[in-house]
A and B are shown apart, each in its own frame.
Chain A
Amino acid sequence: MGRHYLINGEKVPFTAEQETARDASEVAAAADLAAHKYKNDRIAGTATTTGYPNLKEQLDQLYRDINAGKFGSDAKTGEWFVGISSVKTAFPKPS
């Protein structure tokens, strides 16, 4: 069965030319989606693999690594680490 539009609630069958154009469009769409799918997968994951954590969690991971010395001692003196540390000190996590 051929494709159709739904215009103002009425089904309007494709012409032969429109069918041909849509075939080409769907090939192009599939190629474009394939080229970008990895971005979507990285953002939101797939059915079997988790994507990136949210930005807050990513930054917290980075903070913990710096705090653990994995970026060297100088990283602990940087503006970002010192600023974040001062906030954590001001609002300590309950023990």
Chain B
Amino acid sequence: MSKIRLHGSSSGYTEIAPVAASGNNTVTLPNDGTLISHDGNGAVGVTSITVGTGVTAGDGRVTATSFHGSAASLTSIPAANIVGVATAGFERSGGFGNFVKLSEATGTDLGGALIFDNLDTATYRAFKLYFAVLPDSTADGYYAYLRFRTGGASGADDTSSHYSWMYHYGYQNDGTNTVARIDGGFGGLTHTVGGQAAVEGMRGVLDIVLCRSGDSFNTGGGGSAASGFIAQHNEVENWRGGTTHILYNNSSTVNHTGFKIFMGSGGSEVGGFDNYKYALYGVTG
């Protein structure tokens, strides 16, 4: 093995030596007189790298005209630094922010009552349901009701006599009607709804707040509640538009995990819905 030894002007030396099995290679020295640089503190290193014409690395940053490949390791990016407009492919399941879409569906044969169970009440303080349903032929002309449910995934109607409710609606021409009850086994959403697809059915928006563990006020006025707006045509196509308020008024705490919209009379359930569309959102908190 041979070496080239360069002696310092005052002391010491630097050797250039090949590896033992070095092959046949040529080291071409740069023509600017610099082989190794160092910074102001004397640390040896390269202060910047330029790759091709589009990429530079140095001064604590990388500059490039475009990036490709997996970005799996690009984590902990401050949200404030993510700016711009996403035109495609930028989405999060359920959406962003505190108003999160939980489910949606549309069809022509719902077949039964509209039930939502096992809602994540620990994450969501309230729920908002946008819906339109058409009673099936069995339920044509019956009343629309709501019941809260308990039991999580194996949910069951809460039929206890703690529902205080009222709905108020206007009808043609300039008519009004109010129905109010206390301590019933169900909540009244609205009056009789017709089941002809072309001209009847009901549409509504409901805000639903379910009691949950950890709340300090889950009885009386702090009970689960549903309120909203419902527009409909009854069984003879008469128009009605109104509001509804349902409060689960119990002196003991009941934490609900779901709710059901159904048709019936006197609290007895009948039939179901044919045409339907709905979207259920959760409000975090």
Q: Is the CB of A3 within 8 A of B112?
A: yes
- Enumerate chain B residues within 8 angstroms of A30, measured Cβ to Cβ: 265, 270
Q: How many residues of A are counted as interface, with CB atoms below 8 angstroms from the partner's CB atoms?
A: 29
Q: Is the CB of A54 within 8 A of B176?
A: yes
Give the size category of B's interface with A.
35 or more
B257 vs chain A, min Cβ distance (A): 11
- Enumerate chain B residues within 8 angstroms of A54, measured Cβ to Cβ: 173-176
A53 vs chain B, min Cβ distance (A): 8
Number of A-B contacts (CB under 8 A): 86
- A7–B262 CA distance with the chains assembled, in angstroms: 12
Asked if A44 meets B110 with Cβ closer than 8 Å, knowing A8-B118, A26-B268, the reply is: no
A26 vs chain B, min Cβ distance (A): 5
- Enumerate chain B residues within 8 angstroms of A3, measured Cβ to Cβ: 111-112, 272
- A55–B112 CA distance with the chains assembled, in angstroms: 37
- Enumerate chain B residues within 8 angstroms of A6, measured Cβ to Cβ: 110-115, 272
Residue numbers of B with Cβ under 8 A of A are 103, 105, 110-118, 138, 141-143, 155, 171, 173-177, 191-192, 234, 236-238, 240, 264-266, 268-272
Residue numbers of A with Cβ under 8 A of B are 3-9, 11, 22, 25-26, 28-30, 32-33, 36, 40, 43-47, 52-57
